[in-house]
């Protein structure tokens, strides 16, 4: 595809622009002023339509197609086509219909073709909009550097270098919206999101090494990704570092590496970096290193066998029959309680019992000690918000699973037994739906996100090629996003399994 036309097309969306960056004749807009309007044409061919570039031409902000036909605003890392930030309105736009982005009356507004507001910057009064070299999208007054509004305060699934993640920040949410990262006063934690956030079991927690949980006058921690290759936890109101999650490249950070930390769709929190020579993101940190310790590597009602990370279904009678997942049960979208508030009647359920099972993240579950297997079962059976229980006959510990059963972990110990409820009435309906519609949709949206930015990417390639030529190192870049897409898609497909 011609690069010139791509840029021309990208710029064609602009109606008003106030500052431009000159890249050997091609003009890239680097600032928007009040009165700016850009239009997304119904069903546009390019999956990303940039309207604003960072001065380093590595990032652009514009209309992004999400999934097959939704429209969002995003800040995209052009060399990889990866969206670092998305506006994520409650109601996404429709790609097949026209939409407008305006900067008027001091706020950025995304509206559909009927003028319905899909998303806008709130509580901000500004004169200009710019995308910084850090990828931060900022709305500012002329007379001050401090932004009135910045995308860094509203992360989606990704954090970048120098972006402060605090207890007051919105949660980091995976793009399939099933997992979240949050900061507590002295720790960071990953949790699952069920029933639209009414059940949020935690599956990973890291407490800051030098924080003092017992000291109420100590300020809470905030986190920040550091270009040197670590995620630091600091005390608010100062720069006192209380912990460091160091990455594999710590102290030997590749020159010019651009880093991001993303809550991926498999529920793992990973750090990645990209250098000038990259064709795919390289990962140098993951919060959870064993696949079986992820929250749902094998899907709902399944069992993950450590070592070879093989998946089985929970209702297989014994270890030898290994019917491959996806297992027959679809993910649950409501608890087993019926009737109104205060009622604890239970809908009908079947029971599956299985030996040699355990939960990967049992530290975070409600526990009863000094129980017997029968008592453990009874405690769960009688409670409509309990979906299962894992009992350890050696210790007498009974862990109650107060959220839909996901993947259990195999342990070669006959004293570790599990009791699981399976909704009866919904089983037929559930199995008709392919397991994990959400996962499929998410996979699709990832595909499209990764295919995005063709116009912007061409613009970047032009700029990059000329830069390299100037630097006397002309070499053809191998387009990166597809490789990355494959690895993302495969990590994502584990959700469906
Ligand atoms: C942003 O990057 C460009 C190109 O690398 C550079 O010329 C400019 O000085 C940078 N701006 C800031 C504020 O660092
Ligand atoms: C992040 O926090 C530090 C320390 O509080 C502050 O100096 C810096 O300006 C903040 N960065 C952003 C982008 O808000
Ligand atoms: C509690 O935290 C405050 C603020 O960081 C500090 O000044 C104080 O010494 C701490 N108290 C104890 C008992 O460590
Ligand atoms: C455990 O339960 C048994 C029987 O209910 C009781 O006799 C015993 O004192 C309990 N032990 C502890 C440590 O609570
Ligand atoms: C049912 O289980 C939930 C979650 O473990 C717990 O909060 C609640 O107290 C239990 N209800 C009863 C009646 O035991």
Cα 9 to Cα 26: distance, rounded to the nearest angstrom: 12
pLDDT of 202 over the 80 cut: yes
Q: Of 3.60.20.10, 3.40.50.2300, 1.10.260.40, 2.90.10.10, which CATH number belongs to 1-151?
A: 2.90.10.10
Give backbone dihedrals phi and psi of 466, rounded to 5 degrees, phi first. -70, -35
pLDDT of residue 141: 92
Cα 125 to Cα 229: distance, rounded to the nearest angstrom: 35
pLDDT of residue 196: 80
pLDDT of 97 over the 80 cut: yes
20 band by pLDDT with thresholds 50, 70 and 90: low
More confident residue, 3 or 237: 237
Ligand 3 atom with the shortest distance to the CA of 215: 1
What is the mean predicted confidence (pLDDT) over 348-368? 91
Pocket test for ligand 2, best of 164, 233, 237 (most atoms within 8 A of CB): 164
pLDDT of residue 206: 96
pLDDT of residue 330: 67
Residue having the nearest C-alpha atom to atom 3 of ligand 5: 385
Ligand 1 atom with the shortest distance to the CA of 133: 1
Query: Is the C-beta atom of 234 inside 6 A of ligand 2?
Result: no
Ligand 5 atom with the shortest distance to the CA of 386: 2
Query: Is the C-beta atom of 218 inside 6 A of ligand 2?
Result: no
Q: Which residues of 427-460 are buried (b: 16+ CB within 10 A; e: fewer)?
A: beebeeeebbebbbebbebbbbbbbbbbbbbbbb
Query: Is the C-beta atom of 133 inside 6 A of ligand 1?
Result: yes
Q: Which residues are bridge partners to 420 per DSSP? A: 352, 388
Query: Is the C-beta atom of 152 inside 6 A of ligand 2?
Result: yes
Residues 6 or more apart whose CB falls under 8 angstroms from that of 195 comprise 333, 334, 335
Per residue in 482-494, pLDDT (tens digit) is 222 223 333 333 3
What whole-number percentage of the chain has pLDDT above 70? Answer: 76
Residues 6 or more apart whose CB falls under 8 angstroms from that of 475 comprise 468
Architecture of domain 298-431: 3-Layer(bba) Sandwich (3.50)
pLDDT of residue 327: 73
Per residue in 419-449, pLDDT (tens digit) is 999 887 644 444 433 334 444 444 434 333 3
Cα 327 to Cα 311: distance, rounded to the nearest angstrom: 10
26 band by pLDDT with thresholds 50, 70 and 90: low
Ligand 2 atom with the shortest distance to the CA of 136: 13
Query: Is the C-beta atom of 162 inside 6 A of ligand 2?
Result: yes
495 band by pLDDT with thresholds 50, 70 and 90: very low
Domain with CATH 2.90.10.10 in the chain: 1-151, 155-289
Residue 85 Cα to ligand 2 middle (Å)? 18
pLDDT of residue 386: 92
Residue having the nearest C-alpha atom to atom 1 of ligand 5: 383
pLDDT of 167 over the 90 cut: yes
Query: Is the C-beta atom of 56 inside 6 A of ligand 1?
Result: yes
From the CA of 185, which ligand is nearest?
3
pLDDT of 96 over the 60 cut: yes
Q: What is the mean pLDDT of the chain?
A: 81
340 band by pLDDT with thresholds 50, 70 and 90: low
268 band by pLDDT with thresholds 50, 70 and 90: very high
pLDDT of 351 over the 80 cut: yes
Q: Is 244 exposed, middle or buried (0-12, 13-18, 19+ CB in 10 A)?
A: middle
Residue 370 Cα to ligand 4 middle (Å)? 6
Threshold 0.75, pTM exceeds: yes
pLDDT of residue 368: 94
More confident residue, 240 or 442: 240
Query: Is the C-beta atom of 400 inside 6 A of ligand 5?
Result: yes
What is the mean predicted confidence (pLDDT) over 30-34? 94
118 band by pLDDT with thresholds 50, 70 and 90: very high
Per residue in 394-427, pLDDT (tens digit) is 999 999 999 999 999 999 999 999 999 988 764 4
123 band by pLDDT with thresholds 50, 70 and 90: confident
pLDDT of residue 496: 31
Residue 427 Cα to ligand 2 middle (Å)? 50
Alpha carbon distance, N-terminus to C-terminus of the chain? 37
pLDDT of residue 145: 84
Nearest residue to 426 (alpha-carbon basis) of 308, 309, 347: 347
What whole-number percentage of the chain has pLDDT above 90? Answer: 60
Is the separation of the CB atoms in 350 and 301 below 8 Å? Answer: no
Residues 6 or more apart whose CB falls under 8 angstroms from that of 213 comprise 185, 186, 207
Lowest-confidence region among 220-224, 247-251, 274-278, 432-436 = 432-436
Residue having the nearest C-alpha atom to atom 3 of ligand 3: 218
pLDDT of residue 339: 62
What is the mean predicted confidence (pLDDT) over 310-317? 78
pLDDT of residue 84: 98
Residue 429 Cα to ligand 1 middle (Å)? 56
Query: Mapped to the 3 state alphabet, what secondary structure does the chain carry?
Result: CCHHHHHHHHHHCECCCCEEEEECCEEEEEEEECCEEEEECCCCCCCEEEEEECCCCCEEEEEEEECCCEEEEEEEECCCCEEEEECCCCCCEECCCCEEEEEECCEEEEEECCCCEEEECCCCCCCEEEECCCCCEEEECCCCCCCCEEHHHCCCCEEEECCEECCCCCCEECCCCCEEEEECCCEEEEEECEHHHCECCEEEEEECCCCCCCCCCCCCEEEEEECCCEEEEEECCCCCEEEEEECCCCCCCCCCCEEEEEECCCCCEEEEEECCCCCCCEEEEECCCCHHHCCCCCCCCEEEECCCCEEEECCCCCCCCCCCCCCCCCCCCCCCEECCCCCCEECCEEEEEEECEECCCHHHCCEECCCCHHHHHHHHHCCCCCCEEEEECCCCEEEEECCCCCEEEECCCCCEEEEEEEECHHHHHHHHCCCCHHHHHHHHHHHHHHHCCHHHHHHHHHHHHHHHHHCCCCCCCCCCHHHHHHHHHHHHHHHHC
Residue having the nearest C-alpha atom to atom 3 of ligand 1: 56
Residue 393 Cα to ligand 2 middle (Å)? 50
pLDDT of 13 over the 90 cut: no
Q: Of 1.20.58.1180, 2.90.10.10, 3.40.50.150, 3.50.50.60, which CATH number belongs to 155-289?
A: 2.90.10.10
Domain with CATH 3.50.4.10 in the chain: 298-431
Residue having the nearest C-alpha atom to atom 14 of ligand 1: 133
Q: How many CA atoms lie within 13 A of 386 on its CB side?
A: 21
pLDDT of 469 over the 90 cut: no
């Amino acid at each position: 595809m011609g690069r010139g036309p791509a840029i021309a097309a990208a710029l064609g969306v602009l109606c008003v622009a106030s500052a431009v960056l000159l890249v050997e004749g091609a003009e890239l807009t680097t600032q928007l002023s009040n009165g700016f309007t850009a239009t997304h044409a119904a069903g546009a061919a390019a999956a990303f339509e940039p309207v604003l570039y960072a001065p380093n031409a590595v990032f652009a902000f514009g209309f992004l197609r999400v999934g097959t036909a939704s429209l969002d605003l995003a800040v995209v890392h052009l060399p990889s086509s990866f969206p670092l930030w998305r506006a994520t309105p409650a109601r996404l736009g429709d790609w097949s219909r026209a939409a407008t982005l305006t900067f008027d009356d001091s706020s950025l507004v995304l509206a559909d073709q009927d003028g319905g507001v899909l998303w806008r910057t709130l509580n901000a009064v500004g004169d200009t909009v710019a995308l910084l070299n850090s990828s931060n999208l900022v709305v500012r007054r002329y007379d001050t550097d401090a932004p009135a509004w910045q995308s860094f305060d509203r992360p989606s699934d990704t954090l970048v270098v120098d972006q402060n993640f605090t207890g007051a920040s919105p949660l980091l949410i995976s793009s399939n919206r099933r997992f979240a990262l949050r900061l507590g006063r002295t720790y960071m934690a990953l949790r699952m999101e069920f029933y639209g956030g009414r059940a949020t079991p935690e599956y990973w927690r890291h407490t800051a090494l030098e924080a003092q949980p017992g000291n109420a006058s100590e300020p809470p921690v905030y986190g920040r990704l550091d270009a040197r290759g670590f995620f630091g936890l600091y005390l608010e109101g100062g720069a006192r570092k209380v912990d460091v999650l160091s990455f594999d490249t710590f102290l030997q950070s590749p020159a010019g590496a651009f880093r991001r930390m993303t809550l991926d769709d498999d529920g793992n929190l990973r750090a990645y970096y990209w250098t000038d020579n990259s064709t795919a993101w390289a990962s140098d940190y993951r919060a959870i290193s064993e696949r079986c310790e992820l929250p749902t590597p094998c899907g709902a009602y399944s069992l993950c066998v450590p070592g070879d990370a093989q998946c089985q279904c929970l209702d297989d009678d014994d270890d030898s029959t290994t019917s491959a997942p996806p297992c027959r049960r679809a993910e649950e979208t409501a608890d087993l309680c019926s009737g109104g508030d205060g009622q604890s009647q239970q809908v009908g359920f079947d029971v599956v019992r299985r030996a040699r099972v355990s939960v990967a993240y049992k530290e975070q579950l409600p526990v009863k000690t000094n129980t017997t297997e029968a008592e453990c079962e009874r405690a769960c059976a009688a409670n409509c918000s309990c979906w299962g229980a894992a009992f350890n006959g050696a210790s007498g510990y009974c862990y109650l699973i107060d959220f839909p059963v996901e993947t259990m972990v195999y342990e070669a110990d006959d004293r570790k037994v599990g009791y699981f409820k399976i909704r009866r009435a919904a089983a037929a309906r559930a199995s008709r739906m392919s397991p994990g519609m959400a996962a499929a949709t998410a996979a699709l949206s990832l595909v499209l996100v990764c295919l995005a930015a063709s116009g912007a990417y061409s613009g970047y390639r032009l700029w990059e090629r000329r830069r390299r030529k100037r630097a006397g190192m002309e070499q053809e870049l191998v387009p990166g996003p597809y490789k990355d897409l494959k690895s993302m898609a495969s990590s994502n497909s584990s959700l469906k399994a």
